[in-house]
Chains A and B, each alone.
Chain A
Amino acid sequence: MGEKKQLFGHEIAVLEHSRNIIADATKTKEEVIGDYKNLCDHYEEMLDQSKLITKVSDKLQNKLNSANAALADKNQELQETIDELTKAKIGKKAATITFGLAVVLFVLSEGIFDPFIESFAKKVFVDNPNQAALIQYSTVILWTSMFGKLIMALLLKPLETFIEEYLLKKAIKQQKALKAINA
């Protein structure tokens, strides 16, 4: 089985060699001094390496930090664009729903509300043979119908805003749920 390579394999070998020298009682003073000099050289080399690796590592960490900051900015920009797009999409959807509701209300007004007013006014005024009452009958029908339609028209904008806010809240909830799943 091959020995697993280590990042500081050479340095570890130098350390083990130096420890063996200490344990070896047969070494002469000159040999020990020679090995000590060797150890000093290796130590110096390792110190240089440590300085270099620390410096380079710090510099590249700065580079990474800058890249992360740039990425965060881009993410923010992207999120803002997505939000704007979502708002625009929701605004369009709300306008379509409001238009649909307006059509439905108009049909209801023409089909149900107006005939109801007409039959109600008929009971009140037409059964009265008075000419003035007949005039009042047509006026009441006309103005009630117009008033009803005016109220409907005035309610359209607040209705659209309400639908838009509702859809927006729903979209935000969905986005949050999606983020929670992805996290």
Chain B
Amino acid sequence: MEIFELDAKNHTPYIKLDHTTGIMELKGRSTPENSVEFYDPVNKWLIQFINEAVTIPVIVKLKFEYFNTSSSKCILDVLKKFAEFKKTGADVKVEWYYEQDDDDMKEAAEDYSDIVKIPFEIIEIPED
């Protein structure tokens, strides 16, 4: 299994899924032309990661500036995978970062935390 890393582009976020540290990062803007195609390798990597039954604690770090509607579904699917992993007894938590005054992103995080059964920490960070 290899570390999954994708550089951020104009319409896609930076992604780093590291099975060695347990830190899974997604940050930036997610408005790909085809969200399903874009998130498919992420989901495949996560299925492989879950199947390997890694015992390391997992921290999912999310820091989105903006994402479109289809990405919101794909992000939910990714979080559901982590929820499934948590059901197996794994230590999983989500850290959702939002910029100061970005109440919309903060509320989006709260909405996700209501539906996904993983501990959510919503963290305010200063504006860039």
Contacts and interface: CB of A to CB of B under 8 A. Distances in A.
A112 interface: no
Interface stretch (B66-74, B89-97, B120-128): B66-74
Interface residues of A, number: 17
Interface in B87-110: 102, 104-105, 107-108
Contact of A7 (B36, B104, B107, B115): B36
Contacts of B105: 59, 63
Nearest to B112: A52
A48 B115 contact: yes
In which size bucket is the chain B interface? 20 to 34
Given A7-B70, A57-B69, A64-B66, A49 B115 contact: yes
Contacts of B68: 60
B104 A59 contact: yes
A49 B73 contact: yes
Given A5-B36, A52-B111, A55-B111, A60 B73 contact: no
Nearest to B114: A52
B40 to A, nearest CB: 6
Interface in A1-31: 5-9
B111 A7 contact: no
A107 interface: no
Contact of B73 (A53, A63, A64): A53
Interface of A: 5-9, 48-49, 52-53, 55-57, 59-60, 62-64
Interface of B: 35-37, 40, 66-70, 72-74, 76, 102, 104-105, 107-108, 111-112, 114-115
